[in-house]
Amino acid sequence: MGRGTVQVLLLLGLLHWGPGGEGRKNWRRRGQQPAAAAAARERSEATGQPVESFPLDFTAVEGNMDSFMAQIKSLAQSLYPCSAQNLHHELRLHLLLNSSVTCNDGSPAGYYLKESKGSRRWLLFLEGGWYCFNRENCDTRYDTMRRLMSSKEWPITKTGTGILSSQPEENPHWWNANMVFIPYCSSDVWSGASSKSEKNEYAFMGALIIEEVVKELVGKGLSNAKVLLLAGSSAGGTGVLLNVDRVAEQLEEMGYQGIQVRGLADSGWFLDNKQYRRTDCIDTITCAPTEAIRRGIRYWNGIVPERCKLQFKEGEEWNCFFGYKIYPTLRCPVFVVQWLFDEAQLTVDNVHLTGQPVQEGQWLYIQNLGRELRNTLKDVTASFAPACLSHEIITRNHWTDIQVKGTSLPRALHCWDRSLHDSNKNGKAPLKGCPIHLIDSCPWPHCNPSCPTIRDQFTGQEMNVIQFLMHMGFDVQKMAQQQGLEPSKLLGMLSSGS
Q: Which of these is catalytic: 151, 166, 234, 267?
A: 234
Strand (E) or helix (H) holding 142: helix 135-144
SS3 label, residue 498: coil
CA distances from 164 to 14, 177, 232, 420 (A): 29, 9, 11, 21
C-alpha 419: how far from its chain's center? 20
Identify whether 44 is a catalytic site residue: no
CA distances from 50 to 42, 46, 63, 260, 424 (A): 11, 10, 31, 40, 45
Q: Which of these is catalytic: 188, 245, 266, 342?
A: 342
d(CA 11, CA 16): 8
Identify whether 391 is a catalytic site residue: yes
d(CA 280, CA 358): 22
Identify whether 272 is a catalytic site residue: no
d(CA 228, CA 113): 14
- 409, with CB counted inside 10 A (0-12, 13-18, 19+), is buried
Residue 362 has a CB neighbour count (10 Å cut-off) of: 20
Q: Which of these is catalytic: 391, 408, 417, 440?
A: 391
- Catalytic site positions: 234, 342, 391
